[in-house]
């Protein structure tokens, strides 16, 4: 049996590290490149990375950044950086990964979204717009690629304690916790486990999964 191959962008992030470990335990070969190995903002970098892979069974578009600021004060540079990394980067990687997937007539793309796409807080206009765009990409890609047996879904992992959220104040973190009906956040292990399970399902596409307990 052929060992399935997964690519996880933003491979040095907290969720990516746990997901890589769980996928390897499940029998996957995993490529989790850092930005120096795969800069999702750069079409040439994306092309170079993916053309060296003969087969791709799963792409997890996990690379993401935030530059929070009230929109009236946000620089054009910061806005472009957030949208380019979170949205354009996912688009470029999906295009590249879809080539071998279409040849195989099989594959999965999972976009890592955010609760902010649905309920954006103040100061996250760029990030929320980019993550909302990922939902649109997911549904459009699912329709285009379904005929080739390629499934595309979006996972909103919920508030995770990661490098990106570490900068939030204790007050902001506690306020977010109180909005959860279970009174706690997801763990990165739980979010990664859901993704591993989703990758084992061949009949689900075009869906958005919100993994938290906010009612």
Q: Which residues are catalytic?
A: 127
Closest C-alpha to 28, from 60, 64, 63? 60
Structure tokens at 180: 């959860």
CB of 111 closer than 8 Å to CB of 153: yes
Closest C-alpha to 197, from 59, 26, 61, 20? 26
CB of 127 closer than 8 Å to CB of 83: no
Which residues are within 8 A (CB) of 138 and not within 5 positions of it... i.e. 6 or more apart?
A: 111, 113, 152, 153, 154, 206, 208
3-state SS assignment for residue 105: coil
CA gap 96, 78 in Å, rounded: 26
Closest C-alpha to 142, from 108, 112, 114, 117? 108
């Amino acid at each position: 049996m052929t060992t399935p191959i997964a690519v996880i962008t933003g491979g040095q992030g907290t969720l990516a590290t746990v997901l890589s470990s769980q996928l390897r335990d499940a029998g996957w070969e995993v490529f989790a490149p850092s930005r120096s190995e795969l800069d999702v903002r750069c079409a040439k970098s994306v092309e170079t990375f993916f053309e060296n892979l003969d087969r791709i069974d799963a792409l997890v578009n996990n690379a993401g950044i935030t530059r929070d600021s009230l929109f009236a004060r946000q620089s054009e540079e910061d806005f472009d950086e957030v949208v380019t990394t979170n949205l354009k980067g996912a688009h470029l990687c999906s295009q590249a990964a879809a080539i071998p997937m279409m040849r195989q007539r099989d594959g999965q793309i999972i976009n890592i979204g955010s609760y902010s796409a649905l309920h954006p807080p103040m100061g996250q206009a760029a990030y929320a717009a980019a993550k909302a765009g990922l939902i649109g990409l997911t549904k459009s890609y699912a329709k285009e690629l379904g005929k080739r047996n390629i499934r595309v879904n979006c996972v909103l992992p919920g508030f995770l304690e990661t490098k990106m959220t570490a900068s939030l104040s204790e007050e902001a973190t506690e306020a977010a916790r109180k909005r959860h009906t279970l009174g706690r956040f997801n763990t990165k292990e739980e979010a990664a486990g859901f993704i591993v399970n989703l990758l084992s399902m061949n009949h689900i596409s075009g869906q958005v999964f919100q993994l938290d307990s906010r009612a």
